[in-house]
Structure 1
Amino acid sequence: MRHKETSQENIIATLVKFCVPLILSGILQQLYNWADAFIVGNVAGEEALAAIGATGTVSGLFLLAINGFTLGLAVLFAQRYGSGRLAEIRNTLSSFCVILGAAFLMLAGIGILCAYPLLRLLNTTPDTIGMAEDYLKIILAGVPVMAVYNVYTAALRGAGNSRAPFFSILCSSVVNVVLDVILVVFGRMGVRGAAIATVVSQAAMTGYIVWYSRRYDFLRIYPFRRPVDRAAVKAGIHLGFPPMVQSCVNAFGNLILQNFMNGFGTQTVAAITTAYRVDTIIFLPMINIGSGISTIVAQNYGAGKHREIPRVVAAGAVMMTAVSLALISRILFSYWFAASCGNMIIAYAEAASWGVMLLLYVGRVTRKRHVLAWQKR
């Protein structure tokens, strides 16, 4: 689009069109995590739900590292797409599918071998540690698949396509729910069934995204033809390493918090597991809008449209402000939503009530922070 034809309204429309599938993808991904919690909590019981919650920060460390690194890769892909350097996109995609896939295959293997000692270190309760170990080992087996998936979605988003990742997650969600019902409800496999359903659904969405990406010539990779390009690796590490470190720092903080929470017993872990699943979904729009803004800015930077960048940032700030205002009132939403979801996922009144109390407290604190921030402005 030529600069003279670009208006602020067009930029906002572009951002909305690009960010809405990102937001829906994030929400849908959380909702199929809810399916695990809902089915396991009501079929396998409170201890099984707590076992899943006890593993969340460990598997989250791997996934946050992948997401952080591929966030930087998405910027690199967007820059190269904007500048028309499509052959370099193929080299980058091939290089990091190999490197991240191999790296997280090794790390996942270490995690599987050390699952029980790690859960002991996190003070996991004796009545849940066996189930937590089973669940964690299976979930970690799917981490290399998620690494490849995230590299492909970063490439697609960098090329301006945010719809394909949404449809891949939609496919994954359907597979996950169906397998949850088959393995947990009818097969009575408990947490192992939920873990298998999750890993198979992740493999399904990775297969879909790889198949879809072959529509683009520059996303067709040939693993046996120079799979790793040194220049691409250097550029990718330059942009991917800082957000990965940031994500890992947050993940380590969550590990410390998990260790603290586990000391309060099974009911507390089950309650917090439920509350965090509800709370996380509320902040997803902010995270995904930020990702969309960075991608479009990178495309303009790569295309040499530097004058467009402040306009994109300004339009993004308008969107962020609107979403922030909506989040101020989330406490009103939480009274109904928290109670409904807490009792839906946990079939045990005491644990559900604790989860609702946590959500309402977080909602009050968030509201106060937003009000103070606006007063300072």
Structure 2
Amino acid sequence: MQKNSLTEGNIGLSLIKFTLPILFALLLQTAYGMIDLLVVGNFGIVADVSGVSTGSQLMLLLTSICTGLAMGTTISIGRAVGLGQTQDIPPVIRNTIVIFTVFAIICMAGILLFIDNIIIWLNTPIDAITQTKNYIFVCTLGIPMIFAFNIMGSIFRGLGDSKTPLIAVGIACICNITLDLILIAGFDMGATGAAIATVSAQTISVIICIIMIRAKQMLQFTSDKMELYDLEQIKEIIRLGLPIALQSGLVSVSFLCITVIVNQFGLIFSASVGLVEKLTGIILLVPIAFMNSLAVFVSQNNADNQPERSKKGLMIALISSFIFGIIMFYISFFHGQLLIRFFNDDATLISSAILYLKAYSFDILLVPIVFCLSGYYSGCEKTLFVMMQGLFGAIAIRIPVTYMFSLVEPVSLFKIGLAIPISSIVQICIFGLYYMYTNRAQLKAIKYLTH
């Protein structure tokens, strides 16, 4: 099995080289949603835009939970690589497949049984109910492929290989663009066509990843009595991944709640929030990439007894992503209309979306700190703490503040959007307090041992 260790060499170079393919893969993956909105916005109607925007929030929720749970796989594999115990990797992969097979079946059954209730709960605009339902239905049928893609990414990243997923996503993205143009622009299928194109692209990506795994012979099960699953291994993966999954899921729920709150104000508000969420989803990919890469970097280096190398990696990630945040804050706050016009040229929609983007732009400065610290502590296997701070920011701050601001007359997307950076400020404070607490505890332990 090929080993791509992050425990040696120049720290900055190693981290950046590992992060860049993750970033490009995330960019291409996000391009699925961007392209859907871009094509729907230009060849469909406003109801299609709202349907894709609202429906994609639900799918983002499931994907976030899946990605968070898969972090347990990434950390477990990263630890094995750091310790040089590569024989422990195939069981991790096998049990990961078992976990996500069960999870996919549960999600599909739940959504298909209660899809009408979900549409109501999402407070979907009446004019976009059909489009939203069609989008969710098609994407639900594709959940196994959506989950499989995220599993593949977690496996490769844990091994220190961030290039293979990039290649697979790149090919799939080309397919997604082609299918979007054929189904939406050519056959006028609107939101349904966007969903079919996205699921088909994910399926292609999974097939490519499987072919690459077989080509590299990474799954070499040498035991003649190979067990289908190992309950202890499953518990370990869930122990590490479940807190991140819950955090990611509830953070997505908080943004879904924002969608629900905003949808009551009509189609323009709904479409505006959907467009800005897609746009900021691209902007925030840099800190997200560092979060994912730091989890693996820290996991491998801590396992190799190099905690100081892990801390230096954190500082490099913080500085790099924060500089990018400053640049994007300026563009989003002062020239946001140029970014929004790329998706839609409706004057009413643009003027509404700009207000939400201006408020959201403050979060672009803060999120690099939150994400990098989340990745660092996830790599340190402090996933329970990462979950708790994330839940507090989402449930105790973001949702109630959004609701309160939505009651302030006159209703403004700028005021509603301010709830997002406010929650990030609270999370940064929690991280700061935790860092001081753990450092003080370590100093006390050192003093005790030296006396």
Using the size of structure 1 for normalisation, the TM-score is 0.90
Amino acid of the structure 1 residue aligned with 2:344: I
Q: Residues 86 and 112 (structure 1 numbering): CA distance in 2 closer, same or farther, change over 3 Å?
A: same
Tell me the alpha carbon deviations over residues 112-145 of structure 1, each in whole angstroms, 9 at most, x when there is no partner: 2211211112211111011100100111111221
Verify the 8 A CA contact 2:322 2:365 in the aligned structure 1: no
| 1:269 paired to 2:267 | no
Deviation at 1:240, TM superposition (A): 1.0
Say which of 300, 310, 313 aligns to 1:312: 310
Which residue number corresponds to residue 27 of structure 1?
27
Which residue number corresponds to residue 114 of structure 2?
114
Q: Residues 81 and 161 (structure 1 numbering): CA distance in 2 closer, same or farther, change over 3 Å?
A: same
- Give the number of the structure with larger relative contact order, counting CA–CA contacts within 8 Å between residues 6 or more apart: 1
Tell me the alpha carbon deviations over residues 315-356 of structure 1, each in whole angstroms, 9 at most, x when there is no partner: 331231232133123232125763233223124210122112
Deviation at 1:38, TM superposition (A): 0.5
Which residue number corresponds to residue 103 of structure 2?
103
Verify the 8 A CA contact 1:342 1:356 in the aligned structure 2: yes
d(CA) in 1 for partners of 2:363, 2:174: 35
Which residue number corresponds to residue 358 of structure 2?
360
* Percent pairwise identity: 22
Tell me the alpha carbon deviations over residues 187-246 of structure 1, each in whole angstroms, 9 at most, x when there is no partner: 111111111000000000011111111234343579x95332223212211111111111
Verify the 8 A CA contact 1:89 1:155 in the aligned structure 2: no
Deviation at 1:270, TM superposition (A): 0.9
Deviation at 1:34, TM superposition (A): 0.7
Deviation at 1:52, TM superposition (A): 1.0
Which residue number corresponds to residue 346 of structure 1?
344
Tell me the alpha carbon deviations over residues 230-284 of structure 1, each in whole angstroms, 9 at most, x when there is no partner: 2321221111111111112212212322210110111111111111111121121
Tell me the alpha carbon deviations over residues 26-72 of structure 1, each in whole angstroms, 9 at most, x when there is no partner: 12211221110000011111111011111122112211110111122
d(CA) in 2 for partners of 1:298, 1:279: 29
Give the RMSD, CA atoms, in angstroms: 2.6
Q: Residues 368 and 77 (structure 1 numbering): CA distance in 2 closer, same or farther, change over 3 Å?
A: closer
Amino acid of the structure 2 residue aligned with 1:99: I
Tell me the alpha carbon deviations over residues 126-172 of structure 1, each in whole angstroms, 9 at most, x when there is no partner: 11011100100111111221222222221111111000111111111
d(CA) in 1 for partners of 2:277, 2:136: 18
Determine helix, strand or coil for the equivalent of 1:319.
helix
Q: Residues 341 and 165 (structure 1 numbering): CA distance in 2 closer, same or farther, change over 3 Å?
A: same
d(CA) in 2 for partners of 1:43, 1:220: 48
Tell me the alpha carbon deviations over residues 79-122 of structure 1, each in whole angstroms, 9 at most, x when there is no partner: 11222333321111112213212321221222022112111122
d(CA) in 2 for partners of 1:104, 1:199: 14
Amino acid of the structure 1 residue aligned with 2:114: C
Using the size of structure 2 for normalisation, the TM-score is 0.76
Which residue number corresponds to residue 323 of structure 1?
321
Which residue number corresponds to residue 181 of structure 1?
181
Determine helix, strand or coil for the equivalent of 1:123.
coil
Determine helix, strand or coil for the equivalent of 1:128.
helix
d(CA) in 2 for partners of 1:361, 1:18: 32
User: Higher mean Cα deviation, 156-165 or 330-339?
Assistant: 330-339
Verify the 8 A CA contact 1:15 1:316 in the aligned structure 2: no
Verify the 8 A CA contact 2:145 2:206 in the aligned structure 1: yes
Verify the 8 A CA contact 1:88 1:232 in the aligned structure 2: no
Amino acid of the structure 2 residue aligned with 1:228: Y
Verify the 8 A CA contact 1:342 1:353 in the aligned structure 2: no
Verify the 8 A CA contact 2:50 2:128 in the aligned structure 1: yes
Verify the 8 A CA contact 1:46 1:346 in the aligned structure 2: no
Unaligned runs of 5+ in 1: none
Verify the 8 A CA contact 2:172 2:202 in the aligned structure 1: yes
Amino acid of the structure 2 residue aligned with 1:259: V
Verify the 8 A CA contact 1:111 1:140 in the aligned structure 2: yes
Within 5 A, what are the aligned runs for 1:190-201? 190-201=190-201
Within 5 A, what are the aligned runs for 1:28-107? 28-107=28-107
Unaligned runs of 5+ in 2: 370-424, 433-451
Verify the 8 A CA contact 1:338 1:359 in the aligned structure 2: yes
Which residue number corresponds to residue 296 of structure 1?
297
How many pairs were matched up?
Answer: 366
Verify the 8 A CA contact 1:94 1:221 in the aligned structure 2: no
Verify the 8 A CA contact 1:12 1:316 in the aligned structure 2: no
Q: Residues 103 and 326 (structure 1 numbering): CA distance in 2 closer, same or farther, change over 3 Å?
A: closer
Amino acid of the structure 1 residue aligned with 2:183: L
Which residue number corresponds to residue 229 of structure 1?
230
Verify the 8 A CA contact 1:101 1:145 in the aligned structure 2: no
Deviation at 1:367, TM superposition (A): 5.1
Deviation at 1:368, TM superposition (A): 8.8
| 1:251 paired to 2:249 | no
